[in-house]
Amino acid sequence: MIEIQQSQGVLQLVINRPEKKNALTRDMYQQLGDAVFRANNDETVNAIVISGAGGVFTAGNDLDDFRARATDENPKPSAGLVFIEALINSDTPVIAAVEGLAIGIGTTLLLHVDVVVAAESAKFKTAFVDLGLVPEAASTVTMPLHLGARRTTDLLLLGEVLNGNEARECGLVSRVVDDGQALAEAMIVAAGLATKPREALRASKRLIRAPWREQVEQALAREREVFSERLRSEDCRAALDKLPGAERA
């Protein structure tokens, strides 16, 4: 489930499924996307904070959802991408507080938020290729933009794992704090943003992102098509069948 709280201009979204390492289901994506969309049109919200319960950000997409989509003859649009599109279209600043695992979309969604606060021992990893899939969430454009082409290859093709400090060094993370302090620091950042003139803040964010907005939208469309094809491939199904239910990507 997604816990939603609002106070003093800050909307807090907490991914709360600790028994599954906060793996995201279709319903959870829908809740996140709806909350971000509503906040963007709410004049009482000046900042959004996304975090995970139980010392974990998120272990990524629930693999049971992948398995269901792989065999569905009439698949529904990806709820995960609906959430990503809500982030892309949000003029309200978004801050992520990352503790523990940030796997798959748990890493790629960070490329669409404005400030990422990570604990030192946070773990960032994408395993799309290992599952017979391809990168998503427009990460084929946004990751080279933030990290450069070489580091993007390390993460998206080689599946390299980064800790908080390594993620900060390559530009994935804005700032690193002691373990257990990511949310507190993110709330401080959000509180500071909440005091700023709302329309100036939103207009500035639009201007910052305008140069590559069209590229991001095109990447989403390309990735969506290929990801859907790969999800139904034999090697993807074989990879999913080999994984225990506790693992996520």
Cα–Cα separations (whole angstroms), residue 194 to 76, 87, 95, 186, 208:
36, 18, 12, 12, 19
User: pTM to 2 decimals?
Assistant: 0.94
Q: Is residue 224 part of a domain?
A: no
Query: How does pLDDT run along the chain (249 residues), one tens digit per residue?
Result: 999 999 999 999 999 999 999 999 999 999 999 999 999 999 999 999 999 999 999 999 998 888 887 777 676 778 899 999 999 999 999 999 999 999 999 999 999 999 999 999 999 999 999 999 999 999 999 999 999 999 999 999 999 999 999 999 999 999 999 999 999 999 999 999 999 999 999 999 999 999 999 999 999 999 999 999 999 899 998 998 888 653 444
Q: Is residue 248 part of a domain?
A: no
Q: Is residue 233 part of a domain?
A: no
Q: Is residue 108 part of a domain?
A: yes
Q: Is residue 223 part of a domain?
A: no
For residue 41, the model assigns a pLDDT of 95
Q: How far is CA 247 from the centre of its chain?
A: 18
Q: Quote the domain boundaries for residue 179.
A: 2-194
Cα–Cα separations (whole angstroms), residue 34 to 85, 169, 196, 218:
11, 33, 24, 23
Residue 233 has a CB neighbour count (10 Å cut-off) of 13
Q: Is residue 95 part of a domain?
A: yes
Q: Is residue 218 part of a domain?
A: no
Q: Is residue 143 part of a domain?
A: yes
CATH of the domain at 16: 3.90.226.10
DSSP 9: T
Domain count, the chain: 1
CB burial readout 199-211, b (16+ within 10 A) else e: eebbeebeeeeee
For residue 179, the model assigns a pLDDT of 98
